[in-house]
Amino acid sequence: MLIEAMSAMRDLPRLREITSVMIRYGFGDVMQRIGVLSLLERAGQILHRPAATEERVELDTPQRIRQAMEELGPTFIKLGQVMATRVDIFPPGWIAEFEKLQNNVPPVPFEVLLPQVEQALGRSPFEIFSDLETTPCGSASIAQVHRAKLADGTPVVLKIRRPGIQAKIDADLRILRHIAALLEMEIPEARRYQPGQLVKEFGRSLQRELDLAQEASTQERFIKNYAADPHIVIPHIYWEWCSPGMNVQQYIAGVPGNDLAAVDASGLDRKLLAQRGADAVLKMILLDGYFHADPHPGNVFYLPDNRIAMLDFGMVGRLSEIRRTQIVEMLSALAQRDEQLLLDVLLEWTDDADVDEAKLVHDINELIFTYEYVPLRDLSLGAVLGEITSIMREHHIVLPTDLVLLFKALITLEGLGRQLDPDLRMVDHIEPFLKIALVDRYSPSALLKRGKRSVHDIFSVLSGLPRDVARLVKEARRGRVKIDLDIKRLDHFGHQLDRSSNRLTMGVLTASLFIASSIVMTVERIPVWVGLFGYLIAFANSLFIVLSIWRSNRE
């Protein structure tokens, strides 16, 4: 049962709060179906069930979910932001609502932050930094940012984690894991959205963001990757004052990425900024395999000499060599209108044997035909990726986790670039990087490396084959060969069967007690109260059985 899995019932008050919000936004039937309402009642958490207001009922489902997440606070806001990246699972209307979720929250007074800052630094921050501003210049759900200066006058910012945020997020993640498991078990139509996988992915991402020292380490890697590029600026990290709860980095003053009027007033070249931004992110993806996964305007600043500063490396994406190869092949297929190559890549991304390959081939051919005669300068990468993800949703092909952020980053990047330069076409910038990636892939050293790996894998399989066959035969002779069948809800069915058999047993015993009491009442030598006592017990058992059946029907 869920109540047994939750840690010492300490999360029940928060679960009650979540359930109340969901009911107010018209999702009481969902909470009922997955058993959360009955769980709270069994745990003694009496829940008043307010009806959803007429204004909320008139909103469509994505709008109500988004508003509920906003009311539930930082963890759920960030969950919605992660869901906004799942363009392969959610249709555009849902994605548009999730993208409205904002991460701005009221700041914590610096006096509240001061004890943990002193503990991290070993002394007062006012002894280390001058002009430390107690009013934050930025505030989000996990951390807030305060400006200061080093002893030599260098401007810096202190990114400080909010106190107590770790415990609250841990509690919310525990609840979300249980709710996701119940959704997959009780609501078949929710399984296509993979709530368990979404929560798992979200939990990993959130735990990484909580560790500000790890974020600083990630930022250091980007600094090294762009050390030779004078047009891209990554804030310097001051490691001597970094810890899991705080990092200190260079302060960057520039024009915010969403202030186009200021860009023009500063005399910056919009087209050049768009080109340099596109090239920088494509280098991350196709060459480095390590990219900024959230390049929205708030994380980008424009500097004099048409330089670009990138901030906030809490959300990054990583691509293995295999994934980069697949991305190169997919982009090559789009550029060359090669439907077979695109089909091969999509099939590599699915582990579902029930995919209708003939229908998938037809849909890919339609996609290629649609863009076959579109001039390269008029081709929108975001539109093409949107079409591909639409095909994937229709065929229930779920993007691998490491590619989800990539698709989202590419679409966001193209949108940001077109704000600067409406004529920007990402495909124009992709081609040179594709050539570099293909040359690297088929260079003699790369071919030799893959050949050595393949030979090693073949010999490993062949050398281990006799041993594996012998072991299999031996286990079969001993009757130890097992076939594991993972049948969903089998445990739930067994539990229901056990409860039914218990009720049947109680019913038989109650009937027997009633008959025995009736016989006792006819025997003169046995006191009447013995029979009456038997009737009373039988009546109590009957009430218990009726109540049990009624509660079961409500669940």
pLDDT tens sequence across 147-175: 999 999 999 999 999 888 888 888 888 88
- What local confidence, expressed as pLDDT, does residue 19 receive? 83
Q: Does pLDDT of 234 surpass 70?
A: yes
Domains in the chain: how many in total?
4
Given this model, what pLDDT does residue 85 score?
73
Is 272 inside any structural domain? no
Domain residues for the domain of 506 are 490-554
Which tokens go with 65? 């979910």
Most confident of 225-239, 269-283, 505-519: 225-239
Same-domain pairing of 113 and 196: yes
Q: Given a cut of 50, is residue 4 above it in pLDDT?
A: no
Do 111 and 246 belong together in one domain?
yes
Q: Which long-range contacts (CB under 8 A, 24 or more apart) does 254-260 make?
A: 254/301, 254/302, 254/303, 254/309, 255/301, 255/302, 255/303, 256/297, 256/298, 256/300, 256/301, 257/296, 257/297, 257/298, 257/299, 257/300, 257/301, 257/302, 257/416, 258/297, 258/298, 258/419, 260/419, 260/420
pLDDT at position 88 over 80: no
Give the pLDDT score at 302: 93
Give the pLDDT of residue 390.
82
Give the model's pLDDT for residue 450: 57
Query: Is the separation of the CB atoms in 270 and 182 below 8 Å?
Result: no
Same domain, residue pair 162 and 227: yes
457 by Cβ neighbours in 10 Å (0-12 / 13-18 / 19+) ranks as exposed
Same structural domain for residues 467 and 525?
no
Contact, 156 vs 149, CB < 8 A?
yes
Q: Do both 457 and 517 map to the same domain?
A: no
Quick one: pLDDT band at residue 248, thresholds 50, 70, 90?
Answer: very high
For residues 306 and 269, the answer to whether their CB atoms sit within 8 Å is: yes
Question: Does 176 reside within a domain?
Answer: yes
Residues 157 and 178 reside in one and the same domain:
yes
pTM of the model: 0.68
- Among 227, 251, 275, which residue terminates a domain? 251
Q: Of 528 and 269, which is predicted with more confidence?
A: 269
DSSP3 helix / strand / coil % (the chain, rounded to 5): 65, 10, 25
pLDDT tens digit string along 501-528? Answer: 666 777 777 777 777 777 767 766 677 7
Catalytic annotation, pick one of 88, 172, 294, 363: 294
Q: What's the pLDDT at 50? A: 54
Beta strands at 255-256 and 290-292: parallel, antiparallel or unpaired: unpaired
Within-domain flag for 152: yes
What is residue 51's predicted lDDT score, i.e. its pLDDT?
A: 53
Q: Is 360 within the bounds of a domain?
A: yes
294 annotated active-site: yes
Pick the last residue of a domain from 251, 272, 298.
251
> What angle, 0 to 180 degrees and rounded to 10, lies between the N-to-C axes of helices 195-210 and 212-225?
80
**Average pLDDT for 224-232:** 93
Percentage of the chain surpassing pLDDT 90? 19
* Residue 2 located in a structural domain: no
Flag the least confident range among 40-49, 210-219, 272-281, 530-539: 40-49
Beta sheet of 246-250, edge-to-edge order: 138-139, 143-149, 155-161, 246-250
Instruction: Tell me: pLDDT of 383 over 80.
Output: no
Query: What is the average per-residue pLDDT within 6-13?
Result: 60
Do 398 and 381 share a domain, yes or no?
yes
Other beta carbons within 10 Å of 293? 20
**Could you give the CA distance from residue 546 to residue 177 in angstroms, rounded to a whole number?**
33
pLDDT band at 400 (very low <50, low <70, confident <90, very high): confident
Q: What is the pLDDT of residue 457?
A: 64
User: Is 67 a domain residue?
Assistant: no
Judge whether 289 lies within some domain. Answer: no
**Are 193 and 230 within one domain?**
yes
Judgement on whether residues 146 and 190 belong to the same structural domain of the protein: yes
Query: Nearest-CA neighbor of 34 among 174, 178, 172, 173?
Result: 178
Between residues 492 and 89, which one has the greater pLDDT? 89
pLDDT given at position 3:
42
pLDDT of residue 387: 82
pLDDT digits (tens, 9 = 90+) for 289-305: 888 877 777 788 999 99
3-state secondary structure of 104: strand
98, amino acid identity: F
Task: Report pLDDT digits (tens) over 408-444.
Answer: 777 777 777 888 888 877 777 777 776 776 666 666 6
Residue 46 has a pLDDT of 53
Residues 108 and 247 in one domain: yes
pLDDT at position 459, please? 66
Q: Taking the mean position of all CA atoms in its chain, how far away is CA 382?
A: 21
Q: What's the mean pLDDT in 258-275?
A: 90
- Averaged pLDDT, 47-53: 54
The residue from 444, 466, 501 where one domain ends is 444
Separation CA 391–CA 88 (nearest Å): 9
The answer to whether residue 5 scores a pLDDT higher than 60 is no
Determine the Cα–Cα distance for residues 361 and 166; give it in Å rounded to an integer: 47
What pLDDT was estimated at residue 551? Answer: 62
What is the number of other CB atoms lying within 10 angstroms of the CB of residue 519? 11
- pLDDT at residue 262 above 80? yes
| pLDDT (0 to 100) of residue 21 | 85
Report the chain's mean pLDDT, rounded to a whole number.
78
Q: What average pLDDT does the segment 183-189 reach?
A: 77
Give a yes or no: residue 44 inside a domain.
Answer: no
Supply φ then ψ for residue 336, to 5 degrees. Answer: -95, 0
Average of per-residue pLDDT across 72-92: 79
Neighbours of 162 (CB within 10 A): 22
In the chain, the percentage of residues whose pLDDT exceeds 70 is 77
Tens-digit pLDDT profile for residues 434-479: 677 666 666 666 556 656 666 666 766 667 667 777 777 777 777 7
Strand-pair category, 143-149 with 155-161: antiparallel
For residue 222, the model assigns a pLDDT of 93
Residue at token pair 């207001």: 53
The residue behind tokens 């359930």 is 19
The reply to whether 461 and 429 lie within a common domain is: no
* Whether 147 and 210 share a structural domain: yes
Instruction: Say how far apart CA 75 and CA 160 lie, in whole Å.
Output: 17
